Structure 1
């Protein structure tokens, strides 16, 4: 899975919390629907969600998919969403 599981877990928690924060800000400041989408996307980064997916369904989200999704989330948040306009 990861070269160093501790680094993978810490980075998963950090980025998951960052996306969760963006989701909560979107829910309260912009609109409910994008906030819920961000909240659902943040679940894919938390290590307990990976364990749950592996136990229940027999698979987990690969690191490459998480990395690509992270780039898309960052680009969308800073470039397209209304939340980026509120920062300016």
Structure 2
């Protein structure tokens, strides 16, 4: 169980950092609103924020849903090609 949790945290950190990077690039190169949107989306992938929401509200987003959301966001980002 610990290995799964550690792997999940690592993947969530990687996805969060990726979306923060995409958000910063969008702020400077494309449009600030899109960049802020990506940065706000990255918040749900940060393990401390996820654990805080889970303990305070009792609400948790499943890893499958977060993975599906990440794929859709990356697909939309790469399909547009505004950063090139």
Q: Same fold (TM over 0.5)?
A: yes
Taking a change above 3 Å as real, the CA distance of residues 2 and 73 of structure 1, as seen in their structure-2 partners, is: farther
Taking a change above 3 Å as real, the CA distance of residues 73 and 2 of structure 1, as seen in their structure-2 partners, is: farther
Corresponding residue for residue 19 of structure 2: 19
Gap runs ≥5 in structure 2 = none
Corresponding pairs, count: 84
Corresponding residue for residue 72 of structure 1: 72
Distance 1:31 1:2 in 2: 40
> CA RMSD for the aligned pairs?
1.7
- TM-score (structure 2 length as normaliser): 0.91
Corresponding residue for residue 82 of structure 2: 82
- TM-score (structure 1 length as normaliser): 0.87
Q: CA deviation at 1:81?
A: 4.7
4+ aligned runs moved over 6 Å, structure 1: none
